[in-house]
A and B are shown apart, each in its own frame.
Chain A
Amino acid sequence: MRKFALIAVPYAWLLALFLIPFLIVFKVSLSDTALAIPPYTPTLKDGFGALIDGLDLENFWFLTTDDLYYKAYLSSLQIALLSTFLTLLVGYPMAYGMARAPEEWRATLMMLVILPFWTSFLIRVYAWVGILSNEGLLNQLLLWVGVINEPLTILNTNTAVYIGIVYTYLPFMILPIYAALDRMDDSLIEAAEDLGCSRLTAFWLVTVPLSKNGIVAGCFLVFIPALGEFVIPSLLGGSGTLMIGKVLFEEFFNNRDWPVASAVAVILLLILIVPIVLFQRNQQKQAEAEQ
Chain B
Amino acid sequence: MFKPLFTGTAVLALMAGTAMAQEVRVYNWSDYIDEDLLAKFEEETGIELIYDVFDSNEVLETKMLAGGSGYDVVVPSGTFLQRQITAGAFQKLDPSKLPNLDNMWDVVEQRTEQYDPDNAYSINYMWGTTGIGANVAKVKEALGEDAPLDSLELVMNPDNMSKLADCGVHFLDAPAEMLPMALKYIGEDPDSHDPEVLAKAEEAMMQIRPYIQKFHSSEYINALANGDICVAVGWSGDILQARDRAAEADNGVEIVYNAPKEGAQMWFDQMAIPVDAPNVDAAHTFLNFIMDAENMAAASNYVYYANGNKASQEYLVEDVIDDPAIYPSEETLNNLFTTTPYPQKVQRVVTRAWTKVKSGT
Task: State the CA gap A71–B361 with chains docked (Å).
Answer: 9
**Inter-subunit contact A37/B351 (CB<8 Å):** no
* Chain A stretch 55-111: residues in CB contact (< 8 A) with chain B: 66-68, 71
Task: Flag the segment in B86-94, B243-251, B257-265, B288-296 that touches A.
Answer: B86-94
A177 contacts partner chain B, Cβ-Cβ < 8 Å? no
For residue A254, which residues in chain B have a CB less than 8 angstroms away from its CB?
58, 175, 347, 351, 354
Residues 58-73 of chain B: 1 if any A CB is under 8 Å from the residue's CB, otherwise 0? 1101101111000000
For residue B64, which residues in chain A have a CB less than 8 angstroms away from its CB?
37
B334 contacts partner chain A, Cβ-Cβ < 8 Å? no
**Closest residue of chain B to A133, judged by CB?**
B228
**Inter-subunit contact B65/A256 (CB<8 Å):** yes
Number of A-B contacts (CB under 8 A): 66
Residues 327-361 of chain B: 1 if any A CB is under 8 Å from the residue's CB, otherwise 0? 00000000000000000100110011011001111
Tell me whether A253 and B215 are in contact in the complex, defined as CB-CB below 8 angstroms, given that A36-B88, A68-B352, A68-B361 are known contacts. Answer: no
Which of these, A39, A242, A253, contacts B87 with CB under 8 Å? A39
**Inter-subunit contact A38/B361 (CB<8 Å):** no
Interface size on B, residues (CB 8 A): 31
For residue B61, which residues in chain A have a CB less than 8 angstroms away from its CB?
253, 256
For residue B228, which residues in chain A have a CB less than 8 angstroms away from its CB?
134-135
Distance between A147 CB and nearest chain B CB, rounded to angstroms: 22
Most buried by B among A35, A44, A135, A240: A35
A250 contacts partner chain B, Cβ-Cβ < 8 Å? yes
Residues 63-106 of chain B: 1 if any A CB is under 8 Å from the residue's CB, otherwise 0? 01111000000000000000100111100000000000000000
B200 contacts partner chain A, Cβ-Cβ < 8 Å? no
Distance between A168 CB and nearest chain B CB, rounded to angstroms: 22
For residue B2, which residues in chain A have a CB less than 8 angstroms away from its CB?
44
On A, residues with C-beta under 8 Å from B are: 33, 35-39, 44, 66-68, 71, 134-135, 156, 238-242, 247, 250, 252-257
Supplied contacts A239-B359, A250-B351, 16 more A-B pairs, CB within 8 Å = A35-B344, A37-B64, A37-B66, A37-B275, A38-B67, A71-B361, A135-B228, A238-B214, A240-B359, A241-B359, A242-B361, A253-B61, A254-B351, A255-B348, A255-B351, A256-B62
Q: Could you list some 24 contacts between A and B, CB below 8 A?
A: A35-B83, A35-B86, A37-B64, A37-B66, A37-B67, A37-B87, A37-B275, A39-B87, A68-B361, A71-B361, A238-B214, A239-B214, A240-B360, A242-B359, A253-B58, A254-B175, A254-B347, A254-B354, A255-B347, A256-B58, A256-B61, A256-B62, A256-B344, A257-B344
